[in-house]
Amino acid sequence: MILINCPNCGPRNSAEFAYFGETKPRPDANETDLAEWSHYLYMKRNPAGWTSEHWYHREGCRKFLVAERHTVTNEIRSTGTPGAGHGG
Amino acid sequence: MKGRAGNGHGPPVQRYSALSLVRHGLTKGDWPKVWRTHELERSYDVVVIGAGVHGLATAYYLAANHGARRVAVVDKGYVGGGGSGRNTAIVRSNYLTPEGVRFYDRSVRLYQSLAADLNFNIMFAQRGHLTLAHNDGSIRTMRWRAEVNKLEGIDSEVIGPDEIKKLVPFMDTSAHTRYPILGALYHPPGGIVRHDAVNWGYARAADALGVQIHQNTEVLGISVKSGRVTGVTTSQGEISAPTVINCTAGWASLIADMAGVSLPIITHPLQAAVTEPVKMFLEAVVVSGSLHVYVSQTDRGELVFGASTDPYASYSMRGSLEFTEELASHVLELIPSIAKMRVLRQWSGLCDITPDFSPVMGVTPVDGFLVDVGWGTYGFKAGPAAGEAMAELAATGKTPALIAAFDLARFPEGRLVGERGAAAVGH
């Protein structure tokens, strides 16, 4: 079990959340080319270490959050609201 | 002595037979080591990263089919220590896409003759494979799969609850359960294999042909010069090689990163468990997508359970209580009579999941750096066919037709091979 500190609801079991994967900047659809867009769409960093990712609190406040999680130990060192300096 | 690849230390591999068994029984002599250890050399023709079934099979077929002699398999751990020793050992070919069905059929055929080819009993038992449907959507996908399977010449059909009851008498096929069983995709050639035996069999046969297996040899970096791979840096020293093959499953992204290659892969843990052994009562392999479980009984009598992947990306291989609780409740829905059986142990492996649930095999933007990754939950059953095809690619430089659809370029070019509908359970 991972304990996720939801910015709205407080610490909750990760089973209440849906995992949405690593955060990454979305290219501007009007400026981008095919290579950059398909890279954004499909390729993953998939690091073994600290990563920033989106979770959705589907059985709670039904809002997205951004978590800094270590993918080897599953430790979460911070959570925050998307767009508030915590990634896109 | 620093010999050429193939002149390893220790006695050569001895052929297993009834005669050698009797001789060893009478003399009580030690059996020779199954494979030899070697000093790491400065250069090889091919370096395979990952000593699981994919890496070992690739090395074996390079030596057996293409006469390659200077091949090294390096692994940061031990032979079969990753997914190849952690899977639930199910073999089948009843996939959804024609590309997938053809590919896995080749693997089933190789498994059928593998014990004789490797001179190692891999205990392949084609006991039949049942994928249960608990809703109309599943029935529809199974009919679709059965038709694709039949077109490719695979024995596969949709059967009803009465026939299921005949194949698995202990299963609750009544209409009174929470998720009644409406039918199943029945695949008689499916079955189970002893996964360690497959790993050891390939390692032993590859070693006999001169392939060097280097355990405890972690790859720390991959050298690339003007778009070409030139070698690898390992914890045991530098190796130069014109061809490097990434067969590292859950760790594939980390290895590809060293060569500057991006992969469309997310690593998810997948948990499994095994019970105490009981008398044989479950012949077929039983899978339920809706209940997120698959179960088979080994030759020793243990029930082996697998489930869906953990719902988030992770490199952690710790088991969780949620898994055991959910597993128990789902299995008991199917087979209530095993309620008193105890779980002996549980474990976890890493799955390299791609967006379309199909593997990534073939060339990369870096010349000489080949990938055999993205297997998700299908890797073990694919080992022989993937190894055979990757060996052909490495030896001839031409991508075999069998794996052409699974190239890395399919993602930017929009040619995905959607295989999610054939996943054992919802992932």
Q: Tell me, what CATH number does A24's domain have?
A: 3.30.2270.10
CA pair distance A22, B254, nearest whole angstrom? 15
Tens of pLDDT, residue by residue, chain A (88 residues): 799 999 999 999 999 999 999 999 999 989 999 899 999 999 999 999 999 999 999 999 999 999 999 999 999 999 999 986 554 4
pLDDT tens column, B45-99: 999 999 999 999 999 999 999 999 999 999 999 999 999 999 999 999 999 999 9
Q: What is the pLDDT of residue B5?
A: 41
pLDDT tens column, B79-90: 999 999 999 999
Do A71 and B254 make contact, defined as CB atoms within 8 angstroms? no
Q: Which two tokens stand for residue A76?
A: 């979460």
**Nearest to B40, CA basis, from B10, B74, B80, B76:** B74
pLDDT tens column, B2-40: 333 444 444 556 789 998 888 888 988 788 889 999 999
Nearest CA in chain B to A73: B316
- Domain-located, residue A8: yes
Which of A44, A59, A65 best tests the B interface by mutation, with the highest count of B CBs <10 A?
A: A44
- Domain-located, residue A85: no
pLDDT tens column, B317-344: 998 888 999 999 999 999 999 999 999 9
Instruction: Indicate the range of B26-35, B103-112, B122-131 predicted with least confidence.
Output: B26-35
**Nearest to B6, CA basis, from B77, B65, B59:** B59
- Domain-located, residue A88: no
Q: Is A34's Cβ below 8 Å from some Cβ in B?
A: yes
- Domain-located, residue A75: yes
Q: What is the pLDDT of residue B21?
A: 87
- Domain-located, residue A55: yes
Q: Is A58's Cβ below 8 Å from some Cβ in B?
A: no
Q: B108 with B154: CB under 8 angstroms?
A: no
The residue written with tokens 């088991």 in the block is: B319
Q: What is the pLDDT of residue A88?
A: 47
pLDDT tens column, B388-407: 999 999 999 999 999 999 99
CA angle B139-B142-B148, nearest 5°?
145
Do A15 and B355 make contact, defined as CB atoms within 8 angstroms? no
- Domain-located, residue A68: yes
- Domain-located, residue A52: yes
Do A74 and B265 make contact, defined as CB atoms within 8 angstroms? no
Do A19 and B312 make contact, defined as CB atoms within 8 angstroms? yes
pLDDT tens column, B342-381: 999 999 999 999 999 999 999 999 999 999 999 999 999 9
CA pair distance B361, B352, nearest whole angstrom? 13
**Nearest to B226, CA basis, from B42, B367, B45:** B367
Nearest CA in chain B to A34: B412
Whether the per-residue pLDDT at B419 is higher than 90: the answer is: no
Counted domains in chain A: 1
- Domain-located, residue A87: no
Q: In the structure, what pLDDT confidence band is assigned to residue B251 with cuts at 50, 70 and 90?
A: very high
Q: Which residues of B touch A (CB under 8 A)?
A: 251, 253-254, 262-267, 311-316, 320-322, 355, 411-412, 414
**Nearest to B310, CA basis, from B361, B356, B346:** B346
Q: Which residues of A touch B311 (CB under 8 A)?
A: 14, 18-19
ipTM score: 0.93
Q: What is the pLDDT of residue B28?
A: 80
Q: B403 with B360: CB under 8 angstroms?
A: no
pLDDT tens column, A50-75: 999 999 999 999 999 999 999 999 99
Q: What is the pLDDT of residue B33?
A: 87
Q: B26 with B374: CB under 8 angstroms?
A: no
CA pair distance B263, B309, nearest whole angstrom? 19
Residue-range definition of the domain harbouring residue A7? 3-80
**Nearest CA to CA, how far is A38 from chain B (Å)?**
5
Q: Round the average pLDDT of chain B to a whole number and report it.
A: 93
Do A14 and B312 make contact, defined as CB atoms within 8 angstroms? yes
What percentage of residues in chain B have a pLDDT greater than 70?
96
Beta pairing class for B343-353 and B360-363: unpaired
Size of interface A-B (CB pairs under 8 A): 62
For residue A44, give the nearest of B266, B322, B412 by CB distance. Answer: B266
